[in-house]
Chains A and B, each alone.
Chain A
């Protein structure tokens, strides 16, 4: 038993608290037990990287988004304030709170351009209603070219 579980219970049940803010947290936490959050790259190459996270309804209270880019890369611009960046390892992190459900588009501009698949991948982490940490990895997948009808 620890304070984390206690507070989690507090959020999960919430009944006694008057705070509407807490109610929002409870609803946001309880719904997606056991489900991962999907994410995908919209622009996985070049210096301007764009990706999209499908935030479920209701949304979790907090999400950690991690981008693994080329080591020693500089990050010149981000759509969301960067929480931490390990330049040597090329690991950028965001702690997102008060997230709205739906697609969440994130962008970053790096000094070293991404040229081929496997050079970059991301991770989305959150806690479900049971205090269980869930994580999903997303990366660029080479698309198969569709045959054009009539050719």
Chain B
């Protein structure tokens, strides 16, 4: 069954006919134009025009009668390609609707398939898409021979719990006094500390106290570098982000504005984390004494702060 058979046609529907074929069938059956015209109730001129192609379209009703007169199937008389291109006809409108409906169905199926594919993709790739980030916080400056705290914020987007390994490559001759959690291993050749830790939450903080070398006389910047890797993101390893430089200067690390004093805001910031800093071994009494005194200076001979009473 052809597509044409599936499309309903009303008697007034106009279709294209193949004039040569009509003429061929009529003559092969020994029928005259007059006979056909009489059978259909039209003039011989009309039949002649159909056969000569001067009427591009013919009413479906007449095609059926013509087919009956010629004793053939109506489809045999039609010019299928031309019929498809006839504009403005009801048949074409129906055809266009049918085609549009098909397109919508196909589009809907494609969208559903795409959605299902995406869902499956995320379901099976979620774990491997995990990102772990570590951000380092450093003081702006430190004095030679003085300890200072370093905090690293570790964040994971993946499943819990997760275990991570973090490495911190310290500046030359710098040593870690204490870690929270404790340092798992220290590679003296590379001056690199390594932690391995487990977290039950997406956010984890790691802190350590680092000692600057006492004989560090140069004024300049020291650089930190590190990297982190976690078991919930096995293919992902990245460097530790955030602060990476600390300036060697003659100011206490709590004195963030380098004005030679620890003001109220600076000491409140330090003391709001006093327990962590005490846990690391930070000398909180010294910070308090400097704040109380109002000013301090650096004694390069003794490598210590001189509190100006």
Contact = CB atoms under 8 A, between A and B. Distances in A.
B296 interface: no
Interface residues of A, number: 38
Contacts of A5: 137
Interface centre among B138, B270, B271, B275, by most chain A C-beta atoms within 10 angstroms, is: B275
A22 B279 contact: yes
A10 interface: yes
Contacts of B207: 7, 10
Contacts of A37: none
Given A16-B199, A22-B276, A97-B274, A62 B268 contact: yes
Interface stretch (B86-94, B184-192, B226-234, B285-293): B285-293
Contacts of B199: 15-16
A19 B151 contact: no
Interface stretch (A106-114, A126-134, A143-151): A126-134
Interface in B86-124: none
A133 B269 CA distance: 9
B64 interface: no
Which has the most chain A C-beta neighbours within 10 Å: B201, B205, B242? B205
Most buried by A among B205, B269, B272, B275: B272
Contacts of A133: 264-265, 268
Nearest to A135: B264
Contacts of A16: 154, 181, 197, 199, 201, 203-206
B178 interface: no
Contacts of A6: 136-138, 150-153
B23 interface: no
A21 interface: yes
Given A24-B275, A131-B269, A95 B288 contact: yes
Contacts of B137: 1-3, 5-7, 9
B196 to A, nearest CB: 13
A48 B139 CA distance: 43
Given A2-B139, A7-B149, A19 B275 contact: yes
B243 A10 contact: no
Given A3-B139, A6-B137, A13 B242 contact: no
Nearest to A20: B275
Contacts of A60: 272
Contacts of B264: 64, 125, 133
A39 interface: no
B294 A84 contact: yes
B274 A62 contact: yes
A138 B159 CA distance: 50
A49 B197 CA distance: 53
A95 B267 contact: yes
Nearest to A127: B268
B60 interface: no
Contacts of A14: 205
Given A15-B199, A16-B197, A19-B279, A61 B271 contact: yes
B272 A15 contact: no
Interface in A1-47: 1-11, 13-19, 21-22, 24-25, 29
Nearest to A29: B272
A136 interface: no
B277 A7 contact: yes
A125 B266 CA distance: 12
A131 B269 CA distance: 7
Interface in A88-128: 93, 95, 97, 125-127
A129 B273 CA distance: 11
Give 8 nearest A-B pairs by CB, closest first: A6-B137, A16-B204, A6-B151, A62-B271, A7-B273, A15-B201, A84-B292, A4-B269
Interface of A: 1-11, 13-19, 21-22, 24-25, 29, 60-62, 64, 83-84, 86, 93, 95, 97, 125-127, 131, 133
11 contacts: A1-B242, A4-B256, A6-B138, A6-B151, A7-B269, A15-B201, A15-B203, A16-B206, A24-B275, A62-B267, A84-B291
